[in-house]
Amino acid sequence: MKVIVVKNYEEASQKACEIMLDIVKSNPQANLGLATGSTPVRMYELMREDHKKNGTSYKDIKTFNLDEYFGLDQSHPQSYHYFMCHNLFNELDINMENVHVPKGQGNIDEECESYNKLLKENPIDIQLLGIGSNGHIGFNEPGTPFDSVTHKVDLKQSTIEDNARLFFDGKIEDVPTQAVSMGIANIMAAKKVLLIACGEGKAKAVYGMAEAPKTIDLPASALQDHLDCILIADEAAASLLKNK
């Protein structure tokens, strides 16, 4: 695992954007694995700015998102499909037929099977990740087997309550109780993995991911076995690392 320590979130975003753009420019038909959440927002903004300024094209790029709430239509403002359009796709020249986010409606088991098939047919060139304070990646919470593939996730009550407070105006009844997520084996199958971690709240997870023994109790620790994994951490998130 290559560890890059930067000063702050802005520098982490700039470095991550540089790595992502290198893939896009060197392979205009690349398959990008993308993530949602607050961590990649600035990186996506920089990608939009680069497209506008330098004309970097995404017309033949395919994208595959990590996860999606189950029970939300793609147009719902809290869906991850909506998030990706709002934060990235709407200002790129990408063909929306090449954009893949797990479907949040229909038969959840069939969607998991369909997404696994899609990922097998389209090997990911670079998979972007954030990390939860408990070491989760995607919706793969502690205890998720390392050999898991795209699967149904029953959201924990604490997650539902947090999401109600943060994203659903406190209306717990509006929060989906399930999600579809790439499994850890899907993530490990990517040719390159790029994980961004910022803030003191991520320090224990970053240490566990990079330097503590591998364990399913900290899902991101599986990445210790990846042949091309880059961790970009700001000084606060990297504060517990011994080898940096």
- For 70, the enclosing helix (H) or strand (E) is strand 67-70
How do beta strands 178-181 and 67-70 pair? antiparallel
Q: Which of these is catalytic: 67, 68, 125, 234? A: 67
226 is catalytic: no
Amino acid letter, 155: L
The catalytic residue among 27, 116, 122, 134 is: 134
Annotated catalytic, 141?
Answer: yes
Give the span between the Cα atoms of 208 and 81, in whole angstroms.
30
67 annotated active-site: yes
Long-range pairs for 91-99 at CB < 8 Å and ≥24 separation?
91/48, 91/51, 91/52, 92/47, 92/48, 92/51, 92/58, 93/51, 93/57, 93/58, 93/59, 94/58, 94/59, 94/61, 94/63, 95/59, 95/60, 98/60, 98/61, 98/62, 98/63, 99/62, 99/63
> What type of residue sits at position 173?
E
Amino acid at 58: Y
Catalytic residue among 81, 100, 136, 226: 136
Q: 57 and 92 in contact (C-beta within 8 Å)?
A: no
**Contact indicator for 129, 137 with CB cutoff of 8 Å:** yes
DSSP state of 66: S
Annotation says 200 is catalytic: no
Structure tokens at 241: 């690392």
Q: Which of 68, 111, 125, 141 is the catalytic position?
A: 141
Beta carbons within 8 Å of 18's beta carbon, 6+ residues apart: none
Residues with a catalytic annotation lie at 67, 134, 136, 141
